[in-house]
Homo-oligomer: A and B are copies of this chain.
Amino acid sequence: MATIADVAKEARVSRSTVSSVMTGRKYVAPETRQRVEKAVRKLRYTVNSGARALATSRTMTLGLVFSFRQSRFVPSASTYVVALAQYARAAGYRLTLLTGDDSVGEIERALAAKTVDGFILMEVVEDDPRLEPLRRGTVPAVLVGLPEDSAGVDAVDLDYVAAGRLAVDRVHAQGRHRVAMIGWPGSLRRTGATYALRFRRGVEGRARELGMDVTTFECEVDQHGIQECLTPILQDPSWEALVFHNDAIVPILPILLLRENVENLQVIGLCPPEMAREQWLPFETIDTKPEESAGIAVQMLLQRLAEAPSGARGQSGSSPEVRPFERVLIEPTLTAMSEWGNAAEEG
């Protein structure tokens, strides 16, 4: 593999000049630049990113932190991961996986060994223990999720409260009144998963404002729990609407609606867009917008990195005068109902 020295020799310039061409940070005379570029092509030269990292004290790597347990509740986790990787790469950053059981330890080690320039945290919970090392740490972090206290880091997520309100507004617009809200299991709520609580708060709050009648059910994610929770609701015609936020019921609900011959129940809920896209669901859904969250997360992190005093340097002297940390709420939108009939015809 060619090194910068090989290129310099081939182009009959100094290594500095080759470097200037590669980084693009310095003007190089067109004629010289062309000689260098030609040599680069001829030798198939690529900058060794490790060496560059050492020289610049920028690893161009972001650490993606997510833990094991919750991911079974989030089959759409890979959507976030892929989107994050995509955006990071578009900006020249790699994504490295920090997914051990001991996330806090992972973060501390990554900080100490300087393997990453920044962190992205998924599956954020209230009082997330991972925030502590990050707040002391020397590199920026961004949360996908919105705990009450996100001091010291930027955070982005769907506006789950607004999503809950939107769902209720849809119901209200149909003149319906009596609403069953199907949420995640209590076990998930107890982990402190921020979205579970926020959606529910939106639903219940808006219902109260509109004088509507909401009852919340926490529904397990297994076959048995789902049947047990939903069947009585679907069999009781006094329910006028069903609002849900529980991915596990999504593929099953359509069949249950058919089985119970439910005809006059309005159904609307939050679900990952890939589900809505592929499933031809017979009801409206609200998009969780994972790609948007990912895009904004990466963007906020890059922004911090651009402002930071380049790596480990400049850490002495006057305190860096940090820009206030952000909390970005993504506005939820409705996805139109898929028409089963159309689906069949379109083939």
Residue of B nearest to A138 (CB): B1
Chain A interface residue count, CB cutoff 8 Å, equals: 61
B223 touches A280 (CB 8 A): yes
Q: Which of A29-37, A78-86, A196-204, A298-306 contacts B (4 or more CB under 8 A)?
A: A78-86
Q: Which residues of B contact A227 (CB under 8 A)?
A: 255
Q: What are 5 A-B pairs with beta-carbon distances under 8 A?
A: A1-B114, A49-B115, A78-B81, A96-B97, A223-B340
A343 to B226, CA, bound (A): 12
Write out the residue numbers on chain B whose beta carbons fall within 8 Å of the beta carbon of A252: 251-252, 255
Q: Which residues of B contact A28 (CB under 8 A)?
A: none
The listed residue (B112, B113, B222, B259) touching A280 by CB distance below 8 A is B222
A325 lies within 8 A of chain B by Cβ: no
With contact pairs A97-B64, A97-B81 given, residues A46 and B255 touching in the complex (Cβ less than 8 Å): no
Pick from A69-77, A150-158, A166-174 the stretch touching chain B: A69-77
Whether the pair A75, B75 counts as a contact (CB closer than 8 A) is: yes
Which residue of B has the minimal Cβ distance to A49? B113
A222 interface neighbour in B74, B94, B278, Cβ under 8 Å: B278
Check B95 against A274 for contact (C-beta < 8 Å).
no
- Which 8 A-B residue pairs are closest in the complex by CB-CB distance? A46-B112, A75-B75, A49-B113, A85-B97, A95-B97, A85-B99, A259-B259, A50-B53
Interchain CA distance A227-B82 in the complex, whole Å: 30
**Contact indicator per residue, chain A 207-250, by CB within 8 Å of chain B (1) or not (0):** 00000000000000111100110000000000000000000100
Complex contacts, A20 vs chain B, CB 8 Å? none
Complexed CA–CA distance, A248 and B280 (Å): 13
Copies of this chain in the oligomer? 2
Does A5 have its Cβ within 8 Å of any Cβ on chain B?
A: no
User: For the complex, is A281 an interface residue (Cβ under 8 Å from B)?
Assistant: yes
A51 pairs with B49, CB closer than 8 A? no
Chain A stretch 260-293: residues in CB contact (< 8 A) with chain B:
274, 278-282
Which of A47, A51, A82, A109 lies at the interface centre, i.e. has the most chain B CB atoms within 10 A of its CB? A82
Residues of B with C-beta under 8 A to A100: 85-86, 89
The complex places the Cα of A213 from the Cα of B228 at a distance, in Å, of 37
B77 touches A46 (CB 8 A): no
Contact between chains at B61 and A96 (CB < 8 Å): yes
User: In the complex the two chains form, is B97's CB within 8 Å of A94's CB?
Assistant: yes
- Per the bound structure, the CA–CA distance linking A279 and B59 in Å amounts to 43
In the complex, chain B residues whose CB is within 8 Å of the CB of A115: 49-50, 94
Instruction: Kindly state whether residue A14 has any CB partner on chain B within 8 Å.
Output: no
Asked if A224 meets B343 with Cβ closer than 8 Å, knowing A113-B48, A255-B255, the reply is: yes
Cβ of A248: which chain B residues have Cβ within 8 Å of it? Answer: 251
Q: How far is the CA of A100 from the CA of B89 in the complex (A)?
A: 8
Contact B274 A72 (CB under 8 A): yes
Q: A96-B96, A251-B248, A278-B221 are in contact. Are A51 and B48 (CB under 8 A)?
A: no
A31 vs B51: C-alpha distance when bound (angstroms): 35
Q: Which residues of B contact A251 (CB under 8 A)?
A: 223, 248, 251-252
Q: Which of A307-327 contact B (CB under 8 A)?
A: 312
Let me know if A254 is at the binding interface, CB within 8 A: yes
CA distance A81 to B100 in the complex (A): 11
B86 and A224 form a contact (CB under 8 A): no
